[in-house]
Amino acid sequence: MVEIECPHCDGVIELDDGDLGLFECPLCQEDFEWNPQRTLADEELFRPFDFWIGSLVPFLSTCIGNFLSLVLLQDWDILVGWMISIGLWPTIAVGIGIYGVMTMRRLLWLGAAASLAISGTLFLIILAFMFMW
């Protein structure tokens, strides 16, 4: 049960938790509308996979691109395919992050930011190994 105040007479009215819509106040017989606004925290309960989507989609696109480069390309084209695939990771992560910020989906942009941080770290590790050899 939820207790609300009538907007007309300020009387206390009890409604069931799931009730919303148009009601008549039992005290003053005036009509009022009850539609509780969902908060951002409530919205995120319905999207539990946003973090995983934001973090795994850029990574998986790079993995698929690298695999297809190995299977479909030959010689130096494989290296070009790999470089393009590796460039997809941060590009897709930034795109998903921007979309997450614009739609106020916090877990989506946090996943994209985590993916971007991981891709940057891996890129620096790969560069370090390339210059060591």
Give tens-digit pLDDT for 37-64: 654 555 555 577 889 999 999 989 988 9
Residues 6+ apart with CB under 8 A from 78: 69, 70
What pLDDT, on a 0 to 100 scale, did the predictor assign at position 98?
94
Closest alpha carbon to 5 in 17, 15, 18, 19: 15
**Residue pLDDT tens, the chain, 133 long:** 778 888 888 888 888 877 777 888 888 888 888 776 654 555 555 577 889 999 999 989 988 988 888 899 888 888 888 888 888 888 999 999 999 999 888 889 999 999 989 888 887 887 788 788 7
Closest alpha carbon to 114 in 97, 127, 101: 97
Give the predicted TM-score (pTM) of the model.
0.59
Q: How far lies 105's CA from each of 31, 45, 93, in Å?
A: 35, 11, 14
**DSSP letter, residue 107:** H
39 vs 37: CA distance, rounded Å: 6
Strand (E) or helix (H) holding 34:
strand 31-34
